[in-house]
């Protein structure tokens, strides 16, 4: 067993390392507590304080374990209860802030674990309080014994060691800060392609409506960095990789269209499209002669599409007319942002885990949660710069939402008592292990389910395709068949007292040989905008009606696919047919030729469309007749799909968004029935 003298010497050796760590840890901890956000002028030293605090915390934890063992063994025979009690409380606080500190370093702060940082802070202050109490009472007692040195476990020359440690830490911080500045090159504000052309005026991004916070180009490191986000947000990154945002630039139909635009109007004209489909290409200055648009494979813009910063870099909505009408502004840099190697990435990610407040403040701005942010790209117009004609309004899902019951912007509401945003449907809450999860353990899905079945079909993403189908069939649209009530309806030929009737509903039926008129009602009861939305000239939604008799003979049919894959032209379609200035159909989505529409029909949110179907009931039909009606949807019409997808074309699935059926009895007219009976009796 070790003697008291040897234990004392061992404790002195440990204290020579422990006390400087305690002092540095306390100072850096206080700095991180007092300065909660990164100011523009103090960002670097504040962040280095967090790094040093974390490193010192780990070292302190390593040193405290042997110290506690030695100190407890040396003082085990002491009988001063207030010193023992304060020592035990110090030990408890040490354990708490060591455990919570380790959790913060390796797991970080989340909405679900905010109590960890709070407990870490409280335990640290409690430790300081109990330490002061412990030392003061220990010193008083020793002074009462008239000892020359009250704290015998403190080594000689400690003040020199402490001063040397503080100076070394300060110098190391300066060296590290200088190292960061040396290896991190300043962000460029020049176009990545030299001799950048400005055919649409002095604004670098026109005809796109995009703005940047400094009015200049954006360094690729500030926007083309979605894979960096995956290191902390793997679940959200995986969702995004299946989303239409990810494929906004690599979508084959988009590539076909922008290639056509570049061919006819030059690459600078593609700026009109790329602000929404490929902000990396637009904002970094690729869209000029010699540059690559987002449709070019193996480029950062093609990989990103609408990447993380494509949305999370938006700080302001410029206007609500769309065509990428947002202000792009990246957040404040953490240490080594823009430097890509394993060590610097680890330091940056450590800082974000330890201090996510600035990260959330910059990348989860209030505008990101507003429907207005969706309007910047999901609304569209074209003016004379592009069509050589004039201002033409195109798709606008935001305005359709404003006019819907869900925006609560007007009094004509029937189906919603509260505001429902775009996010509530297209970014539903899902179970999450992500650090951004809310207190209930959920985050907003970044799959952005909507109505594009083509991209997951082409990419072989069966999960995204199944989610899209479920989304389309989620009882947001309904179709119903109105029973054919008739004023001359009778149940039988006998006169009955009304008091003994059990059925108060007028029966419905048809007569053989009758020309009938059938009402089919399509209702938009849950879509937050018009149905169909988006590219109404490409999306294909229609009503199919089939009538069969009891022997499965077709009496009437409309809306089925023909052998060539086209829809029966006699069906009722919900779509638009844009035209050019000569009145020709603009079917290739070459919107720069569009000046008007020959046809347009859709079902607004909260409203219904009533269709009338007319046909004759043949004399050979056997009752009852079974009527089935379906609201069908296909992402692209056949003609456009074959042209735009080219060699990637395959039959696009037709989704039954809603279905309904009704059985209608058949009768023979009474006068004809009596005549037939008389003939049979003869």
Please tell me whether residues 176 and 215 are part of one structural domain. no
pLDDT tens digits along 16-68: 777 777 777 777 788 777 766 665 555 677 788 888 888 888 888 888 778 77
Nearest to 226 by CA among 310, 327, 335: 310
- With contact defined as beta carbons under 8 Å apart, do 451 and 477 qualify? no
The CA distances from residue 251 to 254, 259, 462, 642, 653, in Å, are 5, 12, 17, 14, 17
How many other CB atoms sit within 10 Å of the CB of residue 522? 24
Report if residue 437 sits inside a domain: no
Phi, psi of 525 (to 5 degrees): -100, -5
Q: Is the pLDDT of residue 629 over 70?
A: yes
pLDDT at 150 over 80: no
- Taking residues 454-476, what's their average pLDDT? 97
- Residue 408 pLDDT level (bands cut at 50, 70, 90): confident
Please indicate, yes or no, whether residues 18 and 152 belong to a single structural domain of this protein: yes
Q: In the prediction, which pLDDT does 55 show?
A: 86
- The answer to whether 13 touches 155, Cβ cutoff 8 Å, is yes
Cβ–Cβ under 8 Å, residues 333 and 319? no
The set of residues, in sequence order, having a beta carbon less than 8 Å from that of 485 and lying 6+ positions away, is: 506, 508
Q: What percent of the chain has pLDDT over 90?
A: 57
The CA R_g of the chain, rounded to the nearest whole Å, is 36
Q: Which of 167, 183, 199 is at the close of a domain?
A: 183
**Rounded CA separation 231/673 (Å):** 80
Please check the confidence at residue 12 and state whether its pLDDT lies above 60.
yes
Considering the domain architecture, whether residues 30 and 123 belong to the same structural domain is answered as yes
For residue 68, the model assigns a pLDDT of 76
SS3 state of residue 607: coil
Instruction: Identify whether 190 is part of a domain.
Output: no
CATH code for the domain in which residue 647 is found: 2.60.40.10
Q: Are residues 254 and 372 in the same domain?
A: yes
Question: Could you read off the pLDDT of 409-441 as tens digits, one per residue?
Answer: 865 555 555 788 999 999 999 999 999 999 899
Residues 125 and 229 in one domain: no
Q: What is the pLDDT of residue 322?
A: 95
Residue identified by tokens 């509903």 is 505
Average pLDDT score over the chain:
86
| 179 and 218 together in one domain | no
* CA angle at 92 for the pair 89 and 93, rounded to the nearest 5°: 90
Q: What is the pLDDT of residue 355?
A: 84
142 falls in which pLDDT band (50, 70, 90)?
very low
Structural domain boundaries, residue 248: 211-343+354-395
How far apart, in whole angstroms, are the C-alpha atoms of residue 671 and residue 489? 14
Highest mean pLDDT (candidates 63-67, 88-92, 609-613): 609-613
Co-location of 479 and 619 in the same domain:
yes
Q: By the 8 A CB rule, do 255 and 295 touch?
A: yes
Position 528 in a domain: yes
Quickly list DSSP for 531-586. BS-S-TTT-EEEEEEEEE-TT--EEEEES-B-TTS-B-TTSEEE-EEEE-TTS-B-
Residue 243 has pLDDT above 80, yes or no: yes
Whether 365 and 326 have beta carbons less than 8 Å apart is answered as no
Other Cβ atoms less than 10 A from the Cβ of 337: the count is: 22
For 606-629, what is the mean pLDDT? 95
Residues of the chain by 3-state class (helix, strand, coil), percent to 5: 45, 15, 40
Lowest-confidence segment of 5-14, 49-58, 528-537, 648-657 by average pLDDT: 5-14
Q: What is the pLDDT of residue 505?
A: 61
Same domain, 239 and 135: no
Question: What is the mean pLDDT of the segment spanning 547-568?
Answer: 95
**pLDDT score recorded for residue 45:** 74
Average pLDDT over residues 89-117: 84
Going by the DSSP 8-state scheme, the letter that residue 475 receives in this structure is S
More confident call, 580 vs 413:
580
DSSP 60-106: HHHHHHHHHHHHHHHTTT---HHHHHHHHHHHHHHHHHHHHHHHHHH
pLDDT of amino acid 81: 66
Instruction: Report pLDDT for 335.
Output: 86
Distance CA 66, CA 14 (A): 8
Among 457, 435, 437, smallest CA distance to 445 is for: 437
Same domain? 165 vs 241: no
The answer to whether 295 and 201 are in contact (CB under 8 A) is no
| Residue 674 pLDDT level (bands cut at 50, 70, 90) | low
Query: Do the domain assignments include residue 261?
Result: yes
Q: What is the pLDDT of residue 10?
A: 73
Q: Which range is least confidently modeled, 280-284, 432-436, 488-492, 584-588? A: 488-492
Per-residue confidence (pLDDT) for residue 6, from 0 to 100: 73
Distances (CA, A) of 51 to 69, 171, 357, 655: 28, 15, 15, 54
Q: Which long-range contacts (CB under 8 A, 24 or more apart) does 18-23 make?
A: 18/60, 18/63, 18/64, 18/67, 19/154, 19/158, 19/161, 19/162, 20/161, 20/162, 20/165, 20/166, 21/56, 21/59, 21/60, 21/63, 22/60, 23/162, 23/165, 23/166
Residue 61's pLDDT is what? Answer: 82
Residue 268 located in a structural domain: yes
**Confidence (pLDDT) at 180:** 74
**pLDDT (0 to 100) of residue 145:** 44
pLDDT at 588: 96
Confidence tier at 343 by pLDDT (50, 70, 90): confident
Q: Is the peptide bond before 232 cis (omega within 30 degrees of 0)?
A: no
H-helix or E-strand spanning residue 673: helix 670-681
- Find how far residue 196's CA is from the centre of its chain: 33
Does residue 438 fall inside a structural domain? Answer: no
Residue (of 226, 357, 236) closest to 304 by Cα position: 226
Q: What is the CATH number of the domain that holds 13?
A: 1.20.120
Report the pLDDT averaged over residues 195-215.
96
pLDDT 10s digits, 632-659: 999 999 999 999 999 999 999 999 999 9
Work out the average pLDDT over 167-178. 73
Q: Kindly state whether residues 623 and 584 are assigned to the same domain.
A: yes
Rounded-to-integer distance, Cα 403 and Cα 409, Å: 7
Flag whether 448 is in a domain. Answer: no
Q: What is the mean pLDDT of residues 318-335?
A: 94
Q: What is the mean pLDDT of residues 117-135?
A: 83
Do residues 195 and 289 touch, judged by C-beta distance below 8 A? yes
| Mean pLDDT calculated for residue range 612-635 | 96
pLDDT at 571: 96
Number of domains in the chain: 3
Element counts in the chain: helices (H) and strands (E): 22, 19
Q: Of 111, 118, 126, 104, whose CA–CA distance to 54 is shortest?
A: 104
Q: Is the pLDDT of residue 608 over 90?
A: yes
- The DSSP annotation for 624-643 comes to PEEEEEEEEEESS-HHHHHH
The pLDDT, as a whole number, for residue 377 is: 97
Higher pLDDT, 181 or 406: 406
Percentage of the chain exceeding pLDDT 70: 86
Count how many residues are written for the chain: 682
Burial class (CB within 10 angstroms; exposed 0-12, middle 13-18, buried 19+) of 612: exposed
**Tokens 């405290």 -> residue:** 64
Strands (E) across 310-378 are located at: 314-317, 326-328
CA-CA distance, 342 to 372, in Å (whole number)?
A: 38
The residue ranges of DSSP E strands in 362-476, in sequence order, are 379-382, 392-396, 429-431, 442-444
Q: What sign results for the dihedral spanned by CA atoms 464, 571, 380, 593? A: positive
pLDDT band at 354 (very low <50, low <70, confident <90, very high): confident
Are 615 and 574 part of one and the same domain? Answer: yes
Per residue, the 3-state secondary structure of 149-206, as one string, reads: CCCCCCCCCHHHHHHHHHHHHHHHHHHHHHHHHHHCCCCCCCCCCCCCCCCCCCCCCC
> What is the pLDDT at residue 101?
86
Mapped onto helix, strand or coil, the DSSP state of residue 257 is helix
Is 33 in the same domain as 175? yes
Return the closest-CA partner of residue 292 out of 252, 259, 260. 259
Decide which of 134, 166, 183 is a domain's last residue.
Answer: 183
Rounded distance between C-alpha atoms, residue 236 and residue 250, angstroms? 20
In a domain, 498, yes or no: no
């Amino acid at each position: 067993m070790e003697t008291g003298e040897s234990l004392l010497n061992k404790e002195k050796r440990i204290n020579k390392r422990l006390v400087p760590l305690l002092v540095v840890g306390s100072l850096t901890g206080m700095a991180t507590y007092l300065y909660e956000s990164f100011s523009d002028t103090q960002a670097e030293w504040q962040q280095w304080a967090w790094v040093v605090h974390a490193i010192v915390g780990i070292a302190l934890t390593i040193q405290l374990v042997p110290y506690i063992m030695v100190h407890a063994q040396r003082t085990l025979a002491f009988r001063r209860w207030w010193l023992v009690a304060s020592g035990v409380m110090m030990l408890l606080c040490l354990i708490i802030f060591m455990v919570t500190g380790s959790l913060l370093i390796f797991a970080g702060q989340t909405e679900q674990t905010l109590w960890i940082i709070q407990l870490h802070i409280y335990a640290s202050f409690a430790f300081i309080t109990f330490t002061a109490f412990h030392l003061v009472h220990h010193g008083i007692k020793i002074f009462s014994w008239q000892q020359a040195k009250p704290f015998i476990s403190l080594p000689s020359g400690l003040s020199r060691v402490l001063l040397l440690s503080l100076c070394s830490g300060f110098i190391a911080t300066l060296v590290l800060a200088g190292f960061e500045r040396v290896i991190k090159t300043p962000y460029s504000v020049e176009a990545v392609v030299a001799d950048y052309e400005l055919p649409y005026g002095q604004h670098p991004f026109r005809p796109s409506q995009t703005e940047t916070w400094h009015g200049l180009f954006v360094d690729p490191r500030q926007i083309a960095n979605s894979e960096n986000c995956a290191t902390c947000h793997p679940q959200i990154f995986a969702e995004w990789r299946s989303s239409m945002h990810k494929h906004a630039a690599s979508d084959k139909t988009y590539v076909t269209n922008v290639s056509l635009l570049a061919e006819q109007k030059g690459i600078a004209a593609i700026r009109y499209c790329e602000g929404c489909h490929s902000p990396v290409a637009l904002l970094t200055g690729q869209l000029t002669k010699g540059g690559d648009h987002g449709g070019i494979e193996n480029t950062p813009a093609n990989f990103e599409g609408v990447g993380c910063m494509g949305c999370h870099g938006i700080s302001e909505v410029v206007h609500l007319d769309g065509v990428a009408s947002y202000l792009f502004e990246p957040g404040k840099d953490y240490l080594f942002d823009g430097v890509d190697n394993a060590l610097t990435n680890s330091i940056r990610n450590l800082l974000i885990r330890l201090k996510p407040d600035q990260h959330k403040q910059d990348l989860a701005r209030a505008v990101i949660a507003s429907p207005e942010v969706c309007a910047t790209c999901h609304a569209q117009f074209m003016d004379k710069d592009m069509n050589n004609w004039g201002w033409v309004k195109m798709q606008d899902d935001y305005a359709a939402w404003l006019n819907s019951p869900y925006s609560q912007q007007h009094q004509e509401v029937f189906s919603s008592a509260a505001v429902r945003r775009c996010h509530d449907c297209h970014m539903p809450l899902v179970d999450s292990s992500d650090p951004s999860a809310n207190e209930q353990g959920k985050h907003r899905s970044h799959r952005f389910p909507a109505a594009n079945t083509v991209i997951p079909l082409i990419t072989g993403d069966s999960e995204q395709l199944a989610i899209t189908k479920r989304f389309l069939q989620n009882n947001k649209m309904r179709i119903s068949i109105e029973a054919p009530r008739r004023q001359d309806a009778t149940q039988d030929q006998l006169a009955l007292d009304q008091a003994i009737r059990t059925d108060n509903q007028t029966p419905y039926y048809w007569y053989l040989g009758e020309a009938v008129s059938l009402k089919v009602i399509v209702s938009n009861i849950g879509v937050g905008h018009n149905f169909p939305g988006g590219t109404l000239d490409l999306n294909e939604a229609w009503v199919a009606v089939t009538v069969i008799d009891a022997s499965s003979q077709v009496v009437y049919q409309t809306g089925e696919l023909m052998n060539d894959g086209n829809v029966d032209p006699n069906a009722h379609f919900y779509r638009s047919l844009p035209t050019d200035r000569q009145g020709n159909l603009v079917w290739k989505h070459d919107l720069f030729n569009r000046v008007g529409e020959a046809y347009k029909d859709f079902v607004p949110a909260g409203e219904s469309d009533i269709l009338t179907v007319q046909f004759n009931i043949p004399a050979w039909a056997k009752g009852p007749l079974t009527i089935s009606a379906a609201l069908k949807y296909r992402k692209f019409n056949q003609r456009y799909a074959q042209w735009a997808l080219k060699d990637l074309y395959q039959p696009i699935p037709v989704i039954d968004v809603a279905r309904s059926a009704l059985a209608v009895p058949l009768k023979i007219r009474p006068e004809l029935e009596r005549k037939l009976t008389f003939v049979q009796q003869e």
